[in-house]
Amino acid sequence: MFDRKDLEELEKIKWNDTLVVSLFLNVSPQERKKQAYISKFKNLVKSITEENYNTCKEDIEKIESFLQSDRESFKKSIVIYSCTKKDFWVRYDLNVEVKDNLIIDKTPFTSPLFDLLDNYQKYGVLLVDKRAARVFQVFLGDIEEYGMVEHEDVPGKHKKGGWFALAEKRYERHIDYHVKNHLKDVIERFGDFLKDKNIRRLIVAGPDEAISELMNIIPDEIKQKIVGRANIEKYASKEEVLQKVLPIIEEYEKSKEKETVSELIIKTLKNQSAVTGIDDTLKYLRDRRVMKLVIAKDYAVEGFICENCGFATTQHIECCMECGNCVIKTDNLIEKATEMAIEQSALVEVVKEEKDRQRLLQYGGIGAFLRF
Ligand SMILES: [Zn+2]
């Protein structure tokens, strides 16, 4: 898994005397049958120029032998950055599909990974009971565990005879006190974790008692992030945890997409800080007023882009309507819109659910919530 920090480090790489190979390749089990991905890779290699090929021959060979040999560890797709001359090799195994691509350039090609960071949400999972807590992060269909908190000083509950009832009651209060302290500590640490990882959505899991205690003391700021609850065994493996939370995430994202599309359409119709359709969206992107871009998955539209000022439109023009410079034709203005959105730190949401996707397509396939 990678973080924004990792990508920013990659972005800094630039050697004047040589080039970097960037490979994006789907290697899902279907692709692995009859090694289809190897022939795909060979086809990508054919598309590069002879000069680039000669510069990066060693990298190409290294990547190919890697693809042939290390198949066991593959997930859905693979990303490799290689420059053997500088002893540089970075590889990510991803649980999502990517667009197959092979690029040879002075710097690593990172924008598809930045896109993934923008388009996929991170989820935090908090598995808690009266003494212990485990914390996970789920991102891009993968899970990572970030340690366990255990408070051994919570005394165990001992069953005693009826005559002890009074003392028992006091004893229970004592337990409550320890449990509360434990949960308070967990929440504090968890809050820091969420901030550090920039996680905005949460799933909680654990026995009823612990969860209701937790809800009593959890600050609103964290409570608002909770999107679901799962039933998970205290000592479940990472994989088991993932299996339990993925359906919850999927369900949540579906409902979220529906909500987003409806809100976008209603606000646009009411003229309330939202627009739909590529031309209007591009206009507000140019004004840097977009807060969130909403796009129907796989939607593409042809148009023209000014190389000088970045003006873009679906209209057939020969000169830029802003600066008069020459324009170039593009087969996908949506890509341009996404680029502009990322540049101005707007969120990008891709609508994948077919019903909602169709609905958005009726309104131009793309839209934006505006800042003001
Ligand atoms: Zn222009």
CB 2 within 8 A of CB 115: no
Please report the sign of the dihedral spanned by the C-alpha atoms of residue 310, residue 313, residue 316, residue 322. negative
CB 203 within 8 A of CB 229: yes
Q: Separation of 322 CA from ligand 1 center, angstroms?
A: 5
Comparing C-alpha atoms, which of 280, 291, 269 is closest to residue 344?
A: 291
**Domains and their CATH numbers in the chain:** 4-119 (3.30.960.10), 123-236 (3.30.420.60), 257-370 (3.30.1330.30)
Instruction: Spell out the residues 6+ positions from residue 47 whose beta carbon is closer than 8 angstroms to its own.
Output: 102
Q: How many CA atoms lie within 13 A of 119 on its CB side?
A: 20
DSSP code of residue 326? B
Q: Separation of 305 CA from ligand 1 center, angstroms?
A: 8
The partner residues of 303 in beta bridges, in order of sequence, read 330
Q: Separation of 312 CA from ligand 1 center, angstroms?
A: 8
CB 313 within 8 A of CB 286: no
Q: Separation of 308 CA from ligand 1 center, angstroms?
A: 5
Q: Separation of 16 CA from ligand 1 center, angstroms?
A: 31
- Residue-wise pLDDT tens for the chain (372 aa)? 788 888 889 988 888 899 999 999 999 877 777 778 999 999 999 999 999 999 999 999 999 999 988 777 788 899 999 999 999 999 999 988 788 899 999 989 988 888 787 667 889 999 998 888 899 999 988 899 987 777 765 555 444 444 444 555 555 566 677 888 888 888 888 888 888 888 889 999 988 888 888 888 899 999 999 999 998 988 899 999 999 999 999 899 888 899 999 999 999 999 999 999 999 999 999 999 998 999 999 899 999 999 888 889 999 998 998 899 999 998 889 988 988 887 777 888 889 889 999 999 999 999 999 987
Determine phi and psi for 277, rounding to 5 degrees: 90, 145
Q: Separation of 99 CA from ligand 1 center, angstroms?
A: 30
CB 205 within 8 A of CB 231: yes
User: Helices 333-343 and 111-119 meet at what angle, rounded to 10?
Assistant: 80
pTM score of the predicted model: 0.67
CB 247 within 8 A of CB 342: no
